Amino acid sequence: MNTLTDEALMLKVKSGETFRLGLLYERYKKKLFGFFFQMNKDADLSEDLVQNVFIRVLKYKHTYTEESKFITWLFKIARNVSYDDFKKNKEYRHQKDIVNVENRISSPDSIEEKMIYKENVSILKIALQKLSYEKREILLLSKYKELKYKEIGEVIGCNEGAARTKVHRALNELKDFFLVLEKR
Amino acid sequence: MNHKEFKETIVDYISENLSTKKQQEFKQFLKDNPDSQKEIEEINLLWSGLEENVEPTTAMDIKFYTMLNAQKKSKERVTLIPASENFLAKIFSKKIVYTLAILAIGFFIGNNLNIETDLSEETLQIAQKETEEVRGQLVLTLLEQPSANKRLQAVSEVNKLNSVTETIVKALFSTLNNDANVNVRLSAIEALSNYTYIPLVREGLVASIIHQKSPMVQIALADLMVKLQEKKAVESFKKLIKEEDVNVSAKQKMEESIQRII
């Protein structure tokens, strides 16, 4: 059993059994893709970013130690990959976001065709895009059951309590955005 | 659980960060407060909205596995030849660096030591010269002491000298001819026997034979003359043998010596 844990697999990758990364990839590709997609709303780009994460995992495999949970380590890398991309495409992304948001709000088809729940979800997605980069990031991280506040803190570089507060604030802000958008 | 506490734990509840006990408390609170139930539903909606149903395409998988294979291949190439080369190079370069470092350190230390010994040889010579002088002075001073012991010490100091000065030789002879103590005179002979390569010393020794009254000294001189094969001494011994107050055994010894010298 022990050989199948993420940590044991990663240690094998570290010791040179690179092919074992395949299993870790299968376990985390959806989570990572979802994370990136939520951050940038660009499927092609997100796929590239997932690829970048695993390239970095291989490049920095020597820095992995069994003391840290694999998912924490992985998301630390993912976060850096995402942030690097965010910095690179900041201007472009910002404009695109606004256009996207406006399109969705003014598109009568989607509102009419979808059920109320679905409508709410789509509004919520817009609201999420309105959140700041950091708040969106922490909310997405807190969605993963494997990542408790302690681990989230490790990923973003703060303590457990601070991570908890940040999640609370982000969620409250999301709620506010959501309510504003719903009324429009 | 009160309302404030409830608000604070909502996020923990939906993100499943609550302990089982807290979770039960929370659920109980929801049952008791229908309004809160609505709030939770709202938040749950928000929370579920964070989920994205878009899935990555197989293109991503293909890209990943291509990358992984390329990595494996390049790694194999690295591990087979260059890695071993690297490994060897590391070991050797380390060894070579250490060796060179030690060599260099040794060279400098050796160099420094050499300079120091050059210097110390000079200073040593000076120092030796100085001690010789001091010792010479000491010999001369001690020879004039009234205590026989001190005079003996003076003669033994002479043995430590590398070279003797004329003054010391003269002082030794005056001891040999005039000293009241037999032992001092004997040791003077001993000391002088080291310098018999000096003609003056040989002559002095021969000349002193006739002045000796003590049979011990006469015998010692006779032995020394045999050793030196000094023919000039024969005359002096013959003279001594003729004298009446000379010890019989000393006379015998001198006669033997005369025989052996010839």
Min CA distance, B59 vs chain A (Å)? 8
Q: Mark which of A59, A88, A117 sits at the end of a domain.
A: A88
Least confident residue range of A153-157, A167-171, B71-75, B221-225? B71-75
The pLDDT score that the predictor gives to residue A108 is 45
Among residues 111-140 of chain A, which lie with CB inside 8 Å of chain B? 117, 120-121, 124-125, 128, 139-140
Neighbours of B99 (CB within 10 A): 10
The pLDDT score that the predictor gives to residue A68 is 81
Which of B4, B7, B9, B11 is the best residue to mutate to test the A interface, defined by the most A CB atoms within 10 Å of its own CB?
A: B11
Structural domain contains residue B39: yes
- Residue in chain A closest to B8 (alpha carbons) equals A168
Same domain, A142 and A82: no
- The more confident residue out of A53 and B120 is A53
What band does B201 get if pLDDT is binned at 50, 70 and 90?
confident
Structural domain contains residue B130: no
The range of the structural domain enclosing residue A46 comes to 1-88
Same domain, A101 and A142: yes
Residues of chain A contacting residue B68, judged by C-beta atoms under 8 Å apart: 18-19, 21-22, 25, 54
Is A124 exposed, middle or buried, given 0-12, 13-18 or 19+ CB atoms closer than 10 A? Answer: buried
Same domain, A6 and A33: yes
Structural domain contains residue B124: no
In terms of Cα–Cα distance, which of B262, B248, B259, B195 is closest to B219? B248
Least confident residue range of A163-167, B37-41, B146-150, B151-155? B37-41
Please give the interface size between A and B, counted as residue pairs whose CB atoms are below 8 Å apart: 90
What percent of chain A shows pLDDT beyond 70?
A: 82
Long-range contacts formed by B80-88: CB under 8 A, 24+ apart = none
Contact B52 A54 (CB under 8 A): no
Q: Tell me the two tokens of residue A9.
A: 């697999």
Tell me, what CATH number does A72's domain have? 1.10.1740.10
Q: Tell me the two tokens of residue B180.
A: 């009241």
Distance CA(A134)–CA(A145), nearest Å, equals 19
Contact A51 B55 (CB under 8 A): no
Same domain, A175 and A96: yes
Q: Mark which of A26, A53, A88 sits at the end of a domain.
A: A88
**Dihedral angle computed from the Cα positions of residues A88, A94, A96 and A101, in that order, rounded to the nearest 10 degrees:** 150
Same domain, A106 and A58: no
Has residue B190 got a pLDDT over 60?
yes
Same domain, A140 and A153: yes
Distance CA(A37)–CA(B15), nearest Å, equals 20
Q: What is the 3-state secondary structure (H, E, C) of chain B?
A: CCHHHHHHHHHHHHCCCCCHHHHHHHHHHHHHCHHHHHHHHHHHHHHHHCCCCCCCCHHHHHHHHHHHHHHHHHHHHHHHCHHHHHHHHHHHHHHHHHHHHHHHHHHHHHHHHHHHHHHHHHHHHHHHHHHHHHHHHHHHHHHCCCCHHHHHHHHHHHHHCCCCCHHHHHHHHHHHHHCCCHHHHHHHHHHHHCCCCCHHHHHHHHHHHCCCCCHHHHHHHHHHHHHHCCCHHHHHHHHHHHCCCCCHHHHHHHHHHHHHHC
Same domain, A77 and A166: no
Contact A50 B56 (CB under 8 A): yes
Residue type, B60: M
Same domain, A41 and A95: no
- Residue in chain B closest to A126 (alpha carbons) equals B49
**How large is the average pLDDT for residues B228-239?**
83
Same domain, A104 and A151: yes
- What confidence tens digit (pLDDT) does each residue in A73-124 have? 998 899 889 888 888 876 555 555 544 544 444 444 544 544 666 677 777 7
Is A3 exposed, middle or buried, given 0-12, 13-18 or 19+ CB atoms closer than 10 A? Answer: exposed
Residues of chain A contacting residue B50, judged by C-beta atoms under 8 Å apart: 38, 128, 139-140, 143
Contact A121 B49 (CB under 8 A): yes
Distance CA(A21)–CA(A14), nearest Å, equals 10
Q: Mark which of A72, A88, A104 sits at the end of a domain.
A: A88
Structural domain contains residue B73: no
- What confidence tens digit (pLDDT) does each residue in A122-136 have? 777 788 888 888 888
Residue A164 contacts B where some CB pair is shorter than 8 Å: yes
What count of Cα atoms within 13 Å lies in the side-chain half-sphere of residue A49?
A: 31
Has residue B94 got a pLDDT over 80?
no
Has residue B198 got a pLDDT over 50?
yes
Structural domain contains residue B120: no
Tell me, what CATH number does A117's domain have? 1.10.10.10
Contact B65 A22 (CB under 8 A): yes
Residues of chain B contacting residue A47, judged by C-beta atoms under 8 Å apart: 56-57, 59-60, 63
Has residue A140 got a pLDDT over 50?
yes
The pLDDT score that the predictor gives to residue B119 is 60
The tally of domains found in chain A comes to 2
Distance CA(B158)–CA(B154), nearest Å, equals 7
Has residue B47 got a pLDDT over 80?
no
Has residue A12 got a pLDDT over 80?
yes
- What confidence tens digit (pLDDT) does each residue in A46-81 have? 999 999 999 999 889 888 988 888 888 998 899 889
Tell me A157's DSSP state.
Answer: T
Contact B46 A171 (CB under 8 A): yes
Tell me A63's DSSP state.
Answer: G
Structural domain contains residue B243: yes
Neighbours of B59 (CB within 10 A): 10
In terms of Cα–Cα distance, which of A50, A62, A45 is closest to A26? A50
Measure CA B81 to chain center: 46
Of A16, A51, A149, the CB nearest to B67: A51
For residue A92, which phi and psi values (nearest 5 degrees)?
-60, -45
Contact B68 A50 (CB under 8 A): no
Over its C-alpha atoms, chain B yields an Rg (Å, rounded) of: 55
Same domain, A116 and A64: no
What band does B182 get if pLDDT is binned at 50, 70 and 90?
confident
Structural domain contains residue B41: yes
The range of the structural domain enclosing residue B253 comes to 164-261
Structural domain contains residue B13: yes
B246 contact partners, CB below 8 Å, separation of at least 6: B215, B218, B240
Cα angle value B69/B71/B73 (rounded, 5°): 70
Same domain, A58 and A148: no
Contact B71 A58 (CB under 8 A): yes
**How large is the average pLDDT for residues B117-129?**
74
The tally of domains found in chain B comes to 2
Same domain, A68 and A24: yes
